[in-house]
Amino acid sequence: MSDQTATQAAPLAFASTEELVYACRQTLLDNSRSGGFTVPTSRLYPFQWLWDSGFIAIGLATFDLERAMREIEALHSAQWKNGFVPHIVFHMLNDGYYPGPDVHRADLSQYAPAHVATTGMTQPPVIGFVLEKLYESASDKAALLPFLKTHFEKTFQFHCYLYQNRDPKNEGLVYIQHNWESGTDNSPVWDEVWRTFEAPNCELPRRDILHANADHRPTHRDYEYYIYLIEIFKSVCYDDAAIAEKSPFLVQDPLFNAMLAASNESLARIGEIIGAPKTRIRQLKKWHRATKNAMNRKLWSPSTGGYLHYDLRNERLIDTLTSSSFAPLFAGIPTAAKAKRLLKTMLGTKFRGKRQSNFLCPSFNVQDERFNPVKYWRGPVWVNMNWLIFNGLQRYGFLDAAQIVKKDTLDLVMHYGLWEYFNPSRAQTKTETDGYGAPRFSWTAALVLDFLKD
């Protein structure tokens, strides 16, 4: 039996594409909360997350643009006075998640809002390109202009915050200060950073392992590092200059910077549409060029065939391929030659596997001994990464490869359902019927809707 027929022979989670679309919409509606935002999933992540909301807005825009706009408004209602946009907005109390606002204590910062609790860290800056997607999906484009003007400016201020506070050498590359800012939280990349310092042991009232299989989640030791970094931030009241000086974790992440570059490009185009000041548009184009050049100069590894993470604290490139290595395609970062090389890496044995045994795109190099097909960000397929890669491949004209990524994504959700993430192994579809992490996951549902919208 061929790999493809094996996928089709197993029982499917949905009987038809229509049923899948219905389930996607229903998942987003069920995960929506009063206040106009959508939780990633009801139990494991009961608040609003930054990049989740961006992807969710893209999915909502396929059937209810008003809701998509509310999603962005709810996120930006928690923007800090210095332009910073936090990674979680704790719109309401819920003790089902750790660490909550009492651990983060973002209120220690002079810039945090008084009316709502948030974290003091951020996430990949996707909102710029999300705004452009909403504009593209609007049938009455003129009616969207006031919304676009407001959120163009808020997003521009966020980018100012990033370039002013997270780029100490003025290179055009911003750093992340915590693995949770990467979005790819438990990637083996972070193991290499944990090796460079010690975090003290501590008690951790974890809640995630009540809602998801502990073997698939980060370890206790991993969480000790996560919490230790937060303790450092609090000790300096979230002062960016002090964090840049003191904290052992400063990393230039290819995914984060690619999202920033893509958002710069989109904002520059939106700026033209809304008649923004020329200085704003020039600045966005300048940022885009600077980030693009710096990524090609500093993060590209010719020997590995992908973009890598740079440990700015210890001044070294982390020689570890992940699905973030392909994200620069989305922002038009690689030259044609580098893009071809990326394609070769992705379709080769390190990701697609020998005899194409994997669904694209595993989040980690499957030949690396740290690869784990079922552990959070250490190997499984994530629909948000596939969506970024699909659009990146299309941008470079790699249409056949883009179709493979799309088909693999849809085959996975048709087989397993709308899970948080998936085992990349094709062979597993013969025996397994469940995906991993949380079921009825919002960004999975949202981006499947975008994949299917045409």
Closest CA to 277 of 153, 398, 369: 153
Q: Answer for the pair 363, 378: CB distance below 8 angstroms, yes or no.
A: yes
- The 10 Å Cβ neighbour count of residue 136 is 9
Residue number, 92 or 399, with CB nearest to ligand 2M8: 92
CB of 39 to ligand 2M8, least distance (A): 9
Residue number, 216 or 288, with CB nearest to ligand 2M8: 216
Please list every residue from 181 through 220 that binds ligand 2M8, using CB under 6 A: 183, 185, 208
C-alpha–C-alpha distance, residues 49 and 38, integer Å: 9
Residue nearest to ligand 2M8 (CB): 40
Please list every residue from 138 through 157 that binds ligand 2M8, using CB under 6 A: none
Segment lying near ligand 2M8 (by CB under 6 A), choices 48-56, 109-117, 387-395, 406-414: 48-56
Q: How many CA atoms lie within 13 A of 142 on its CB side?
A: 0
Residue 71 in the binding site for ligand 2M8 (CB under 6 A): no
Residue number, 7 or 179, with CB nearest to ligand 2M8: 179
CB of 235 to ligand 2M8, least distance (A): 21
Among 129, 135, 158, 180, the residue binding ligand 2M8 under the rule CB under 6 A is 180
Give backbone dihedrals phi and psi of 385, rounded to 5 degrees, phi first.
-65, -40
Instruction: Establish whether 420 is a catalytic residue.
Output: yes
Among 13, 31, 45, 405, the residue binding ligand 2M8 under the rule CB under 6 A is 45
CB of 11 to ligand 2M8, least distance (A): 27
Residue number, 51 or 147, with CB nearest to ligand 2M8: 51
Please list every residue from 290 through 329 that binds ligand 2M8, using CB under 6 A: none
CB of 88 to ligand 2M8, least distance (A): 7
C-alpha–C-alpha distance, residues 327 and 131, integer Å: 19
C-alpha–C-alpha distance, residues 203 and 194, integer Å: 18
Residue number, 86 or 305, with CB nearest to ligand 2M8: 86
Among 12, 24, 31, 49, the residue binding ligand 2M8 under the rule CB under 6 A is 49
Among 36, 37, 52, 405, the residue binding ligand 2M8 under the rule CB under 6 A is 52
Q: Answer for the pair 205, 98: CB distance below 8 angstroms, yes or no.
A: yes
Q: What is the largest CA-CA distance in the chain?
A: 62
The active-site residue, picked from 30, 73, 107, 185, is 185
Count of residues binding ligand 2M8 (CB under 6 A)? 10
Segment lying near ligand 2M8 (by CB under 6 A), choices 47-55, 261-269, 279-287, 319-327: 47-55
Residue number, 183 or 424, with CB nearest to ligand 2M8: 183
CB of 160 to ligand 2M8, least distance (A): 23
Among 51, 84, 238, 398, the residue binding ligand 2M8 under the rule CB under 6 A is 51
Residue number, 96 or 332, with CB nearest to ligand 2M8: 96
Segment lying near ligand 2M8 (by CB under 6 A), choices 43-51, 298-306, 331-339, 444-452: 43-51
CB of 248 to ligand 2M8, least distance (A): 20
CB of 97 to ligand 2M8, least distance (A): 7
Please list every residue from 82 through 101 that binds ligand 2M8, using CB under 6 A: 87
CB of 426 to ligand 2M8, least distance (A): 24
Segment lying near ligand 2M8 (by CB under 6 A), choices 45-53, 148-156, 160-168, 233-241: 45-53
Residue number, 230 or 268, with CB nearest to ligand 2M8: 230
Residue number, 306 or 380, with CB nearest to ligand 2M8: 380
Secondary structure of the chain in the HEC alphabet?
CCHHHHHHHCCCCCCCHHHHHHHHHHHHHHCEECCCEECCECCCECCEEHHHHHHHHHHHCCCCHHHHHHHHHHHHCCCCCCCCCCCEEECCCCCCCCCCHHHHCHHHCCCCCCCCEECCCCCCCCHHHHHHHHHHHCCCHHHHHHHHHHHHHHHHHHHHHHHHHCCCCCCCCCCECCHHHHCCCCCHHHHHHHCCCCCCCCCCCCCHHHHCCHHHCCCHHHHHHHHHHHHHHHHCCCCHHHHHHHCCCCEECHHHHHHHHHHHHHHHHHHHHHCCCHHHHHHHHHHHHHHHHHHHHHHEECCCCEECEEECCCCEEECCCEHHHHHHHHHCCCCHHHHHHHHHHHHCCCCCCHHHCECCCECECCCCCCCCCCCCCCCCECHHHHHHHHHHHHHCCCHHHHHHHHHHHHHHHHHHCCCCEECCECHHHHCCCCCECCCCCHHHHHHHHHHHCC
Residues labelled as active-site residues: 185, 420
What is the binding site for ligand 2M8 (CB under 6 A)? Answer: 40, 45, 49, 51-52, 87, 180, 183, 185, 208
